[in-house]
Amino acid sequence: MLILGIDGSPRRYGATAKLLRLALRAAELNGAHYRILFLYEHDVKPCIGCFSDSPEACREPCPLKDEWSDILELVLESEALIMATPVYWYGPSCMVKIFMERLTILENKSTLGGKNPLEGKAAGVIAAGLEDGSSQAGYYVAQVLNAMGMIIPPYGVVHYTGSGDPLESRTTVLDTVNLGRAVVLASSAELDWYVEPSEMETMLDHARRDSGQDEAWQRPLRESIRSNP
């Protein structure tokens, strides 16, 4: 199993990198291999939002000329991701935001009739900041990745706030080690997560029928309460 660690900080020696390496070492002890991608050391241009013009326009190859195709290859080769970001004004770094926006080209494959290659990949998130916002930034990144089809496992988000060495915080270390382990465990599941349109119609019929039965039972009761206050 290969896990891609994504460092969204411009500093290899900061809290974000330290916690990412700790999580990856924990994953390694649980049977995974890993590699680290330092986003700030690559030419990755901001997304220009082709999807907003037309969903059909958001497809490979991306029209932007940069190193994205090489990064995309690393993502596709990996069974799981661990995303680590510093906290910049209550959110992730700009490079993490750009990275997630550019992943739309994979997530959109399902819209175009194919399979989303992000679906079912496990993802852990680490957010480290000097002041407030680490929880907000971490769960924002997790929400985006989950909306793209990725699995956020139990204990899959770690947030650290402080000016000291995060490796001196026993609670943070324990949480980060558990994150690395949880990502490995979640990666063992191989399932089809997204429902087919034919199944959707069956479920929709059941939901409408159940809703109608509930309305038939409750509406007379509510009208009785209103007429007899």
178 with 220, same domain: the answer is no
What pLDDT is attached to residue 196? Answer: 64
- CB-based contact 119:194 (threshold 8 Å): yes
Question: What would the DSSP string read from start to end of 70-119?
Answer: HHHHHHHH-SEEEEEEE-BTTB--HHHHHHHHHTHHHHGGGTTTS--TTT
| Domains in the chain, number | 2
33 with 104, same domain: the answer is yes
What pLDDT is attached to residue 217? Answer: 82
**What are the backbone dihedrals phi and psi of residue 84, each rounded to the nearest 5 degrees, phi first?**
-120, 130
- Domain at 76, CATH number: 3.40.50.360
The pTM assigned to this predicted structure is: 0.83
What pLDDT is attached to residue 193? Answer: 58
What pLDDT is attached to residue 229? Answer: 65
What percent of the chain is modeled with pLDDT above 90? 63
151 with 76, same domain: the answer is yes
Q: Residue-wise pLDDT tens for the chain (229 aa)?
A: 999 999 999 999 999 999 999 999 999 998 999 999 999 999 999 988 988 988 888 888 888 899 999 999 999 999 999 999 999 999 999 999 999 999 998 888 888 888 899 999 999 999 999 888 999 999 999 999 999 999 999 999 999 999 899 999 999 999 999 999 999 999 876 656 566 666 667 767 777 788 888 788 888 888 888 887 6
119 with 217, same domain: the answer is no
**What are the backbone dihedrals phi and psi of residue 92, each rounded to the nearest 5 degrees, phi first?**
-75, 170
191 forms bridges with which residues in the sheet? none
171 with 201, same domain: the answer is no
46 with 142, same domain: the answer is yes
In three-state secondary structure terms, 10 is coil
206 with 98, same domain: the answer is no
What pLDDT is attached to residue 214? Answer: 79
122 with 201, same domain: the answer is no
What pLDDT is attached to residue 78? Answer: 95
Burial label for 6, CB within 10 Å (0-12, 13-18, 19+), is buried
Range of the domain at 219: 195-229
Q: Which two tokens stand for residue 229?
A: 């206050």
- CB-based contact 95:40 (threshold 8 Å): yes
165 with 211, same domain: the answer is no
In three-state secondary structure terms, 49 is coil
166 with 200, same domain: the answer is no
